[in-house]
Structures are given as structure tokens and as C-alpha cells.
Structure 1
Amino acid sequence: MKTLAIGGTGFLGAHIVDSLLAAGHSVGVLSRSKARSAREVPESVDIIEGDLGLLDRPSLTEMMSGYDKLVYAAGVDERVRPDGDAREFYFRENVETCRNVLLAARDTEISHVVVLNSIFTCFNRLHPELKLTQHHPYIASRVAQSEMVIEVSRGHFVASVLEIPWVFGDTKGKPSQWSALVSYVRYTRRLVAPNGGAVAISAKNVGRATLGALSAPRVSARIPIGDCQLSWDDMLRQLAKLSGKNDVSVMRMPDSVFAGLMRMGSVTLRLIGEKSGLDFSRLGELLTREFDVDLAASQKLLDYGDPDIEPALAATVASVPDYRRAATWSRLAPFKFAAAA
């Protein structure tokens, strides 16, 4: 089995490549720098040098010829600051670029495609009253990407849109997206968390779920994945314990206070001229909810292994250098919970 992993050199891509190799796949990855990626991926991986944003459709088709399966783990998340209009930026990066790849894949022998999407797409289905696509450009792009993938796949290949939640685990030497949160837990005496929580998954299980999605599904579908659902205060307690702090209490923040802090964050971004894929003034109503996502169905379908999140949380803590700068991180505490998948 030959599988091409676009985005295979990133954080999640590295774990996906590991799962593919362990299952006996021959794996290729696309990289802007073959020399740099040669130091990051196993020797058996075929590195194709190229810039995804510059490849036209014939070049993409030629690149994918000879592969049986395709993993698309590229795109940008809400942490990437938009260049120009936010909605146009995210749609270009997450929808149009992906569309070009999938249209090119239709001219190959590829039978299964996996596209890494966002759990926000699932939240949008569960709670349309929040109007997430109207208020958050990043979420709008992920919902549009999901719809596009299903449409383009019809009659050509089976496409699984994996809705990725908050991911924890070994970063394999890359900077951790959870550095601020881990440092907050390490250096703050009294931890504070909002109500609500998040769906969580280990990076290893993202790899395993991707492997399962390349063979198990028979029809194209959107599939939310995850190991468990964690309240924010439970997440902080576990991270604190794994950081060596025992018997830590976490105080619940009133929703109105948290919403006010998020609005302050929104005002701050506007004042400094920063654009974002998420509207901070409306993040409170999203992050303080507890979403009832059916994880058992995808765990059974894709067979992605042990749902124990603690080893992944431990690996996340280990991936963040201990700088002992408590004062700095304490001042940033109100904004830790804006990080999302």
C-alpha cells in the first residue's frame, strides 16, 4: 500500500506517518525543503520537494500518480494570523488549496482520502444557534472545507473528514501549542478555569484514526474523533499533577467574567491591528459549553486504540521547557483557554 501524506512533516503528520509505517505502508510526504525534512522523517519515507500553494493541477496529479491512498493534513489553524481579509485568507488556505489537491486526485487511482479538519465543524452541526460560521472566519473555512471534500469525492474516492479536537502528545522536537497553558499550570499557585470543557485526543491516536480511515469507511463522511471529553478544570488538575504539583484546587470562573475577559482580548487585538480566525468577543459562549460528542462510534469504526489521555498529557508537559517565568505566564492566564483545535 502506497500512501502520500501532504502535511506529513508537521506535528500531527509525523504521528500519522509513524502509524502508516507501522502498518506496512510505503509513505511519501510533500515538503518545501527536502534537506530539512530528511532530518525529521524516517529514512524509508520518500520526500517530494514542492510548495503546495504553487503546484498546478497537472503537477499535483503527476505527484499523486502511483499512490493508493492520500492523507491531507495541510492547511492553517486559528493560531495563524491572516494575511489580509481573514475570511478570504482562511478560505484560500483551507478550502481552495485542498480543493485543487482533491480535484487532481480524481485523475489518479487513489481510492481513499483522509482530510484533517476541526472539531469546530462538529460543534457547528450540534449547535447551529451559535452561528459559528457567521462569527468566526476560521470555523467558516473548516465547515466549507468539510462540505467541499464530500462533494468532490462523490463517484471518485471515499473521503473521511476527521474532525480533530484538542490534541496532546509528544511534539517530536517541535514547539508545543500548549506551552502557555503548561507554563500557567506550572507557575501559578491558584488555578482558575471557566465552565465547560473540550474533546481531547492523543497525537498517537490521531495517527491511528487516520490509518483506520484509509481502509474502514465505505462511504464518504464527516467523523468526529477523540479519546475523551475533559472539563477545563479537570484538564488543569491533570496537567498540574503531571507537572509535579499535587492536591491542586481549581476555582471555577463565572461565565460572565470569562466572557468579559474574552471581550477584552478582542478589543486588544483590534487596538494593535491584529486579525484572528476566531472572534474573541464570542469565544466565551463557545468555550464554556460542554459538547456531547459521540466518540464511541468513531473509536469502533476506526479502531484507534487506547483512549487513555494521561500519557499524552504527560508527553505534552515534557515537551514544554521549564523556564520558571511565573510572573509572565500569570499575567497571560485569562487567554490560555482561547487555544483550540
Structure 2
Amino acid sequence: MIMPMRILVVGASGLVGQHIVEVLREREHSATAVARTARAGVDHAVDAVTATEADWRDLVAGHDGVVFAAGADDRDIPRKPVYPLFHQGNVRPVVRLLTAARTAGATRAVVLGSYYTHFNRLHPDWDLAVTHPYIRSRVEQARAGREAAGPNLPVAVLELPFVFGRAANRLPNWSGPLDKWVRSRSPLLAPTGGSATTTARRVAETAVQALEDASGADIPVVEENMTWATMISRIATATGHPRPVRKLPTGVVRTALKITGLAHSLQGKQSGLVPSKLADLMLQNLFLDIETPRSIETTIHETFPPSP
């Protein structure tokens, strides 16, 4: 029998954070919701970037564990140099939170990360953490977070691919432009390659299971592997605008990304995923091993509902 836990969830108003709070309560655990902005369902409004270790210690007191479901996204394109900003958003808050959690006597933690760290381990020859500042921040997040937590506070890192789903008015932050595109009359084009995918609900279930198990593992989360063409086709069909997806030539992808990188440079900006090297990732099948594949078709329709 699993004893009820009291868990502090940072980033609780986000897509995955809301699902984690929901699953915790479904399993008769207690969830304290922390988010940057005060709103219904948020117990404490705290900016994770500026919160000190002392701030976290006061909040963590009396909790069995913590979840970090916040952080800086790889789609942000700030002014360079970019790594300090990703370190500030992804590494520093986790170190402070887990240091406070260790001091307060917490016994379990979950950090939501990226499946790029999985591929960084699997293919060290790809030099992902060296090449891409965002991936470097995620690798450092896991390493520094576990170091801060120490041996008595196991930290599970969930390595997330494309996450589909909906939570109230929250949708995946990458879904907006894609939704607009597939509903337009523009032709649908896709390069070779593809990605693992999952749902916010599955991420939440995995996170809560890791908390119950007091797991300290790296956990890639996946339900379906899809080529880019398949993903775009299924999204277009879900919206009620099905049409063929044509192949986008590899040379065009590489050239377009190089031009994008040049434009960023001229604007004094820098991407967390270096455009000139991003094609090397995009054109791969970034698939994860699946013990029990599960269709995410229902969640695709939830994320991209049909036009009225």
C-alpha cells in the first residue's frame, strides 16, 4: 500500500503541471500548486527564476517531495549570449529548489527535462550538449540538480519529447503556429525524420509513479513514434483539413536553417538550438524505445480540435 504523500509542484499552472496536480489528487496524495502568476488553483505565486533557496525552504517544509515542471523553453530566441539565460531558467532554480528540499528532509523529487538529454547519452559523438546551449542546460540541470539533492533525495528526470494535450486553456507552446498552418490553404511539407511523442496525461502519470517509487532514474517518456509527415498529416486530419503531405528536400531544410541562423546573428540573437546544426537533429528519427506503444490519436484531436 502506498502511503499518501504531500508534494510541492512548481509550474503547476502549465500544461503538464496541471495534469500532475490532478493525478496526485486522484491517487489521494496532497499537491501544493506553485506558479509564477497567481490564479485560481495556484496556492503560491512564486517566480522560480528569482526565488532563493530560503524562499523554497519555507515552501517545501512539511512536504515529502517536489516536482519541477517549469523552466526555459528551447523555442525562446533571446539576445546572445544565450547560455546564461538557459542556465538561469533551467539549472539555477532546480539547484536551489532541490537544495532546499534536501535540507527540509524531502525524500523524492521529479524534474521535467528533455529527450535531447537521452540522445546526448545515447550518441555522445553527436556533441549535442557542446553544440546546443539549450541541451547543455538540460544536461547540466540533471547533473547539478542531483548533486544538490545529495544521496538521500533521489531525483527522477523525465525526458520529454513532443507533448500533446490540453489543460483548461493551456496547450503545448509549439502548437499555435502549427495549428494555423494546417488550417490554412498552404501546402503541407515535411522533411525526413521524426520524433517520439507523448501526452501531458502520460507525463503526469509517469511523474507521480516516479514519486511513489522514490525513483532516481532518467525516464524517457513516449507513447508513439511518428515521422514528421505522419504527425503533420494526423494533425491536419484532426482539424478537419486533411490533405497530402509532400516531402521537403533535405537540401532545402539545411539551407533554410542556415539562413535562419544568419538572420539571428545579424539581429544579435542566439537560439538555444543552433539552426545551422539543427538539421542534423531534425532529419533523424528521434524515436524512443516503447515497451507498450499506445496511440495518442484522441489527444491529437484534443490538442487540434476540428474547425467549427
Q: What is the TM-score normalised by the length of structure 1?
A: 0.83
Partner of 2:19: 15
- Whether the 8 Å CA contact 1:150–1:221 is kept in 2: the answer is no
Superposition pairs of residues 23-172 of structure 1, within 5 angstroms = 23-34=27-38, 37-38=39-40, 41=41, 47-82=43-78, 85-172=81-168
Equivalent residue for 1:239? 235
CA-to-aligned-CA distance 1:222-280 (integer Å, 9 cap, x gap): 1111111110000011111111134x221222222211111111122223333221111
Give 3-state SS (helix, strand or coil) of 1:129's partner: helix
In the alignment, does 2:262 pair up with 1:267? yes
Q: Indicate conservation of the 8 Å contact 1:182/1:317, yes or no.
A: yes
| Corresponding residue SS for 1:308 | coil
Query: Which residue is 2:219 aligned to?
Result: 223
Q: Which string of whole-angstrom CA distances, capped at 9 and with x for unpartnered residues, describes residues 52-83 of structure 1?
A: 33332233212101111211112111122336
Equivalence for 1:293: 288
Separation (CA, whole Å) in 1 of partners of 2:183 and 2:47: 39
- Determine the structure 2 residue equivalent to 1:187: 184
2-side partners of 1:57 and 1:243: how far apart? 45
Percent identity over the alignment is: 30
Q: For 2:67 and 2:148, how far apart are their aligned partners in 1?
A: 15
Whether contact under 8 Å (2:68, 2:112) holds in the other structure is: yes
Does the 8 Å CA contact 2:36/2:46 hold for their aligned counterparts?
Answer: yes
Q: How far 1:140 sits from its partner (Å)?
A: 0.6
Contact kept, 8 Å, 1:4 with 1:29, in 2: the verdict is: yes
- Maintained 8 Å contact 2:193/2:282: yes
Moved more, 52-61 or 124-133: 52-61
Paired amino acid for 1:203: A
> Match of 1:52, SS?
coil
AA aligned opposite 1:274: K
Whether 2:8 is the aligned partner of 1:4: answer yes
SS of residue paired to 1:215: helix
- Distance 1:80-1:227 versus aligned 2 partners, 3 A rule: same
Q: Deviations over 1:293-319 (max 9, x none)?
A: 2232xx7xxxxxx8321111111113x
What is the number of equivalent residue pairs in this alignment? 303
Any conservation in 2 of the 1:82–1:90 contact (CA below 8 Å)?
Answer: no
Match of 1:311 among 263, 277, 298: 298
Task: Please report the TM-score for the alignment, with normalisation by the length of structure 2.
Answer: 0.91
Contact 2:57 2:103 in 1 (8 A): yes
Post-superposition offset of 1:165 = 0.8
Q: Deviations over 1:71-122 (max 9, x none)?
A: 1112111122336520111112211221011111111231110000001111
Cα distance change, pair 254–32 in 1 and its aligned pair in 2 (3 A): closer
* Structure 1, unpaired ranges of 5+: 300-305, 323-341
Q: Cα offset for 1:31?
A: 3.0
Aligned mates of 1:189, 1:91 — CA distance in 2: 38
Q: Partner of 1:54: helix, strand, or coil?
A: coil
**Does the alignment pair 1:174 with 2:170?**
yes
SS in 1 for 2:57: helix
